[in-house]
């Protein structure tokens, strides 16, 4: 974890079914790094959430050691600039900068809210101590790419509609810079406890001006996730994948790709990008709905009987085998597909369920069905 050792005064408690008191994210999985106050029943999914929570809490409600550590940390950052807040400290640390590194950049004349710009400079291998570092030139480049990203956002999500938009998909791979999302103000309270706000799905490194009631959902690269959990030259490391009914009845642990007949990678995975199922030659059922896939290649999966890839919203390309004689269910609802060429490889006598609504199809001939 980047930054000071929060574990000195926060106890890591391996409990399950816990919700972050700051962002309401479900935490508690043994594999996740999360923190709980040693004396109070407060839980946080990250250091940033912890800092934001503490900024709003009454000092008297917190343990003495916890208060002292936070005060010391805050005072240290205030020596850089008196206007440093817990939120700004958290943003610098989330970008991977320590107190010492931040201080060097601020001493060059940068502002305390330039954390995104400094992260851009770091990606470009700039160093605060290097000679002939022209910050003005880099600032111009930064402003240009930020404007391009903002123009993309304004075109895709017109300002007049933003107060009603519930979900934002920042999946354009060229997005770089800082985006102004302050106009996305959708908010609905279900009850005193449950709130619904804007959800932002991010696949690339995007620096956001986070408005209130926003849930940031970081997407993972689909192919990378698959290759790590179902390696081509190894065996599956996943245990008891949840099926659509919520029951642990799909267990591919220890199996090679050619041995797997059912693959369930839906819902909580939050994957985006392209996905190629090369090697799954005996796959009969594929469930990959509720992700943000843009391309799905199934050309080596000739034994497929069920394909469920609905609610991806971003899928524009689907590649099926040259012939799918056994396919009985094809669900592609709520995507961005534009042609129906894939229907030509399906046996219409076998197909029992076809879901293709909410795509971008033009008027096409479906007479074979």
With b meaning 16 or more CB within 10 Å and e meaning fewer, what string describes 45-83? bbbbbbbbbbeebeeeebeeebbebbeebbeebeebeee
361 in a domain, yes or no?
A: no
Whether 226 and 337 share a structural domain? yes
**Looking at residue 196, what is its pLDDT?**
59
Distance CA 209, CA 211 (A): 6
**Looking at residue 39, what is its pLDDT?**
40
**Looking at residue 38, what is its pLDDT?**
41
Whether 252 and 331 share a structural domain? yes
Whether 207 and 319 share a structural domain? no
Q: 218 is written with which tokens?
A: 């970081």
122 in a domain, yes or no?
A: no
**Structural domain tally of the chain?**
3
Distance CA 54, CA 305 (A): 52
Helices 115-123 and 99-106 cross at an angle (nearest 10°) of 100
363 in a domain, yes or no?
A: no
Chain centroid to CA 78: 32
Distance CA 317, CA 296 (A): 6
**Looking at residue 215, what is its pLDDT?**
60
Helices 135-156 and 115-123 cross at an angle (nearest 10°) of 110
Distance CA 54, CA 67 (A): 9
Chain centroid to CA 103: 30
Distance CA 264, CA 364 (A): 31
**Looking at residue 15, what is its pLDDT?**
43
8 Å CB contact between 292 and 171:
yes
**Looking at residue 12, what is its pLDDT?**
37
The tens digit of pLDDT for each residue in 87-134 reads 788 888 878 899 999 999 999 999 998 988 898 898 889 999 888 899
Domain residues for the domain of 321 are 221-355
Whether 105 and 150 share a structural domain? no
Which residue, of 171, 196, 218, is where some domain finishes? 218
**Looking at residue 107, what is its pLDDT?**
92
**Looking at residue 168, what is its pLDDT?**
80
The DSSP code sequence of 99-137 is HHHHHHHHTTT--TT-HHHHHHHHHTT--TTSTT--HHH
**Looking at residue 71, what is its pLDDT?**
76
Whether 268 and 156 share a structural domain? no
pTM for the structure as a whole: 0.56
Which residue, of 117, 148, 183, is where some domain finishes? 117
Q: 62 is written with which tokens?
A: 């917190």
Write down the H helix ranges in the chain: 47-56, 64-78, 86-94, 99-106, 115-123, 135-156, 222-229
Whether 262 and 212 share a structural domain? no
Whether 237 and 330 share a structural domain? yes
Q: 122 is written with which tokens?
A: 């770091």
Whether 281 and 312 share a structural domain? yes
Whether 350 and 235 share a structural domain? yes
**Residue among 220, 212, 187, 219 nearest 22 (CA):** 212
8 Å CB contact between 335 and 312:
yes
8 Å CB contact between 286 and 296:
no
Whether 93 and 196 share a structural domain? no
**Looking at residue 90, what is its pLDDT?**
81
The DSSP code sequence of 273-339 is EEEE-TT-TT--EEE--SSEEEEEE-TT-TT--EEE--S-S---EEE--S-BTT--EEE--SS----
Which residue, of 153, 186, 218, is where some domain finishes? 218
**Looking at residue 191, what is its pLDDT?**
45
Kindly report the backbone phi and psi dihedral angles of residue 129, in degrees, each rounded to the nearest multiple of 5, phi listed first: -100, 0
CATH number at residue 319: 3.80.10
Per-residue pLDDT tens digits of the chain, which is 369 residues long: 233 333 323 333 344 456 677 677 766 544 344 454 444 456 666 656 766 555 555 444 555 566 677 778 888 888 999 888 877 888 888 788 999 999 999 999 999 989 888 988 988 899 998 888 999 999 998 888 888 888 888 888 888 877 777 778 776 766 766 677 777 776 655 444 445 567 777 764 444 544 445 566 677 889 999 999 999 999 999 876 765 554 446 789 899 999 999 999 886 567 888 999 999 999 999 999 888 899 999 999 999 999 999 988 889 999 999 999 999 999 999 898 988 888 889 998 899 999 998 888 876 555 544
Whether 41 and 7 share a structural domain? yes
197 in a domain, yes or no?
A: yes
Whether 82 and 139 share a structural domain? no
8 Å CB contact between 331 and 353:
yes
Neighbours of 142 (CB within 10 A): 20
């Amino acid at each position: 974890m980047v930054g000071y050792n929060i574990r000195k005064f926060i106890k890591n408690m391996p409990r399950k079914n816990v919700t972050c008191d700051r962002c309401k994210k479900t935490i508690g999985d043994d594999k996740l790094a999360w923190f709980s106050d040693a004396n109070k029943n407060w839980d946080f999914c990250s250091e940033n959430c912890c800092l934001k929570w503490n900024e709003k809490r009454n000092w008297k409600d917190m343990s003495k050691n916890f208060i002292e550590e936070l005060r010391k940390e805050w005072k240290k950052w205030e020596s850089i600039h008196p206007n440093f807040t817990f939120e700004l400290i958290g943003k610098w640390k989330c970008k991977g900068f320590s107190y010492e590194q931040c201080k060097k950049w601020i001493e060059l004349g940068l502002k305390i809210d330039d954390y995104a710009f400094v992260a851009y400079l770091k990606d470009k291998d700039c160093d605060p101590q290097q000679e002939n570092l022209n910050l003005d030139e880099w600032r111009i480049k930064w402003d240009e790419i930020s404007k391009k990203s903002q123009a993309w956002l304004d075109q895709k999500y017109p300002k007049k509609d933003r107060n009603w938009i519930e979900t934002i998909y920042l999946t354009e791979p060229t997005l770089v810079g800082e985006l102004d999302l302050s106009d996305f103000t959708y908010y609905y309270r279900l009850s005193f406890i449950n709130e619904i706000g804007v959800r932002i799905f991010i696949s690339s490194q995007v620096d956001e001006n986070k408005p209130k009631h926003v849930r940031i959902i970081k997407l993972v690269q689909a192919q990378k996730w698959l290759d790590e959990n179902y390696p081509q030259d190894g065996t599956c490391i996943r245990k008891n994948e949840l099926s659509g009914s919520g029951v642990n009845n799909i267990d591919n642990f220890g199996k090679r790709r050619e041995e797997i007949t059912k693959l369930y990678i839906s819902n909580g995975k939050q994957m985006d990008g392209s996905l190629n199922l090369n090697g799954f030659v005996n796959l009969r059922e594929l469930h990959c709905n509720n992700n943000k896939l843009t391309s799905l290649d199934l050309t080596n999966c000739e034994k497929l009987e069920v394909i469920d890839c609905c609610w991806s919203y971003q899928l524009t390309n689907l590649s099926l085998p040259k012939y799918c004689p056994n396919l009985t269910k094809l669900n592609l609802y709520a995507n961005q597909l534009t042609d129906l060429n894939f229907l030509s490889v399906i046996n219409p006598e076998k197909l029992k369920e076809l879901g293709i609504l909410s795509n971008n199809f033009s008027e096409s001939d479906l007479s074979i069905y």
